[in-house]
Amino acid sequence: MNVEIVAKEGLKRELTIEVPADVVDKTYQNIYDEYRRNAKIAGFRPGKAPVSVIRTRFKDEVTAELVDQLVKEYYNQAVKENNLDPVGPPMLQTVDVDEGKPFRFTLGIEIMPQVDSIACENLWIYRPEIKVDDKEVDGVLQELRRRHSDIRTVDRPAGAEDILVCDLEIAEGDVEEDDRKPITNQEIDLGHPSTDKEFRDKLTGAKRDDNRQVEIVYPADYPNPKFAGKKIVYTITVREVKERILPELNDDFAAMVEKETTLLALKLKIREQLEAERKSEVARGNKRLIIDQVVGQNAFDVPEVLVQKYLNDVIEDHKKDKVPMEEDVIRQRYRPMGIASLRWYFLYHRLGELEKIEVSQEDTENWIKRFAEHYG
């Protein structure tokens, strides 16, 4: 077997492989014999048809089977002997085959990048002072009071902190038919910050059996893609007005939130949790910052087949979320992210090899223990 390897753009390689003529003839003969044993040809008993008849009738089929068989065998052998690390299946480009002569074929492949050393000079991170003020702690306490409040129906206009039970229907808006179905007994919490401002403004002061219309123009980046960038007009009928009765902020309330604790202890715990969240947020940001710096210092080609797979996955995610966007726009926008993500993948694993990082059984058990404690 002779193998010629030509480097093409980036990580692409072109392999031209020549299989000796004697191997080609032997393979032809073996496949012809198999056809001869199994072929049903009028005028001949099974296995008795002359080879000349088999050649005439099945030459194309036999050649196709030979190509498939020898390409697989000799491609794998060439990859192993030349220490190639291909990505994805090869693309068969040219074939020159016939009985009595060597079989030459050309394949196109992409190989994995070889990362010998990694530059990571002058890396920097943020080290902000972590501070939690009393106002933030009080905000969490107020939210806990809301969660543990009593709810009762009232016969008066709705206040800014009340809860409405409503029937909703979309009167105008470019939405799918399923989203136009009326919704009954929907709770709208006027005091919750996640409630759309338009609902809070239009429904504050509403009474039982009132009918109101609320128009909302959703921003283009609205989390629900069904409504992003659209103007929706809702028709709302108020069925019930409820008020929230907050518990007193004392030790009894603290014990209700967490058994056998005091208000002071609860405040201290809230402060610790907020500090831990802030530290985790900084750590996540620094991790991203380090990755960006290392990737920026180590520019190398990544396999195009993997880039395309990354982009195809992004497109599928957009389709699942029903986010309208042209595929060409997605590929152009996300391509730099895909390349950076793949570079970090190769750098990450190479760093593990260079630094001889290993995961012990104890590491695994400690991770499982922390996971179990966190999720109860």
Direct distance between the N- and C-terminal alpha carbons of the chain, in angstroms, rounded to an integer: 62
pLDDT, position 179: 78
Q: Name the stretches of the chain with pLDDT < 70.
A: 42-43, 45-48, 323
Are 346 and 115 in contact by the 8 Å Cβ rule? The answer is yes
- How many other C-beta atoms can be found within 10 angstroms of the C-beta atom of residue 146? 15
pLDDT, position 297: 96
Are 291 and 342 in contact by the 8 Å Cβ rule? The answer is no
Half-sphere exposure (CA, 13 Å, Cβ side) for 300?
21
Using alpha carbons only, what angle is made at residue 206 by residues 204 and 208, rounded to the nearest 5 degrees? Answer: 140
pLDDT, position 241: 96
pLDDT, position 180: 81
> In sequence order, which residues have a C-beta less than 8 Å from that of residue 270 and are 6 or more positions away?
137, 140, 141
Are 113 and 306 in contact by the 8 Å Cβ rule? The answer is no
Q: Of 88, 69, 68, nearest to 13 (Cα)? A: 88
Burial classification of residue 19, based on how many CB atoms lie within 10 Å of its CB (0-12 exposed, 13-18 middle, 19 or more buried): buried
Q: What is the mean pLDDT of the chain?
A: 92
pLDDT, position 373: 92
CA–CA gap between residue 225 and residue 172 (Å, rounded): 17
